[in-house]
Structures are given as structure tokens and as C-alpha cells.
Amino acid sequence: MSDQIETTEGGRIAPTGRPVKRRRAPKGEQRREALLDAATAIFAENGYTAASMRNVAEIAGITTVGLLHHFPNKVSLLQALLARRDRRITEKFAELEMVPTLEGFVAFASMSLRFSVESRRECQAAMMINVESLAEHHPAWAQSIEKFEMTHAHAQAHLAALRANGEIRADIEVARVATELFALMDGLQIQWLRDPDGVDALAIFDGYLQRLAGSLRPQ
């Protein structure tokens, strides 16, 4: 008797008589994700400081007590939201093979901004939290400093490796290039959030990257 052919929920065909089923997220996990989505919307609109747990609960359609069951306070909610974004970044860039060439560096930088502007709401929430965390009393202050130092260090290390391999000029100051790169990325996100129809952040950034690459190449 021939095997039955069945499709899964995602449309994939099971090669045997037994259908291949995708793992369904537990209801608790689904609820947690929905709450983080609600927090993203509130933080994007009001920032972390002015946001309230009650507002998040209302957006999510549950009681404040129900929200506190998952996140006992606003700090834990913020930490979970930042952890989810970090996890998404890690998963996204795991798909990209880092090529040790100037072209590979340009592709990585371009993909970084593309990820940042995939969701206007998430981008705005991240920018709001980033600015607020300049204050030392903010719960994300230490984490923001750590992330700033880590991203700059990674970019500088990559550029230094390109310089050592002759991919870019020997006189390039990698710290200045990295600072310029991140400054433009941050500025473009703010301008795009302000005028998403008038500011083509990706096109502007890709144009800059091509000019940057031209200025970095050995003569």
C-alpha cells in the first residue's frame, strides 16, 4: 500500500504516511509574545519611562494582574523585550556568512540597517529606549553601554582585519570609520521614523556604503 501524502500546516508535504507537524508554541509562550508585542507598541509611543503596566495590559486585552503573572514589574518587562530583540538579531545574522572582504563588510552593514527598519514600531521602541537609557538611573543604562561597546568593538575588529589583509588602506582609522557608520545608521532611523515616506533610509545608506567602500580601497 502506498504512503499517504499529507500537507502540514505550513504547506510542506510529509514524505511518509505520517504528517510532519510543526511545533505549536504553548499557550503561555504565545501569551508572553503577545504581551511583549503590546509592550513594544506602548514603549514606541510613550517610551519606557512614561509607559505603565496598565497601558500594556489594556493593549494586550488582559488585566494588570494577568500581566503581572508573566512580568512582576516594568523592569522585568523591559528586560524581556530587550532579550527578545537581541535573540532576533542573533537569529537573523546567523543566516549571513561573514566574508572577510570589504564587500562582505558592506553587505553586513547593509543588512544591519535592513533589520533595524523591518518594523517601524520595533524600530521606534528601540530608539526611544536607547535615548532614555542615556540616563544612569535607567534600567537599561548598563546594558546599553555594553551593547554600544560590543558593536563598536566588533566593527573595529572587522575593519582592522580588512586593513591587515590589504582590503582597505593601511592609514584608515578604524575607530573613526565605525563611529561614522553607526552615527549614520542611528540618524537615518530617526529621520525615517519622522518621515517614512520621504526618507528612503535603505537607499541612502547603501549609497553611503558604496562611497565609503570606494574611499577605503587601496589606491
Query: In whole angstroms, what is the distance from residue 72 CA to residue 53 CA?
Result: 10
pLDDT digits (tens, 9 = 90+) for 164-175: 999 999 999 999
Query: Is domain 96-216 annotated with CATH 2.60.120?
Result: no
pLDDT digits (tens, 9 = 90+) for 53-109: 999 999 999 999 999 999 999 999 999 999 999 999 988 888 666 778 999 999 999
Asked if pLDDT for residue 38 goes beyond 50, the answer is: yes
| Equal fold, 24-76 vs 96-216 | no
Asked if pLDDT for residue 194 goes beyond 80, the answer is: yes
Domain positions in the chain: 24-76, 96-216
Query: What is the dihedral angle through the alpha carbons of 100, 106, 112, 114, rounded to the nearest 10 degrees?
Result: -140
Report the Cα 24 to chain-centroid distance in Å: 24
Query: Is domain 24-76 annotated with CATH 1.10.10.60?
Result: yes
In which element (H, E) is residue 152 found? helix 141-164
Q: Are 19 and 7 in contact (CB under 8 A)?
A: yes
Q: Quote the pTM value.
A: 0.82
Compute CA distances 214 → 113, 159, 185, 186, whole Å: 20, 14, 19, 22
Q: Which residues contact 66 (CB under 8 A, 6 or more apart)?
A: 57
Query: In whole angstroms, what is the distance from residue 106 CA to residue 96 CA?
Result: 12
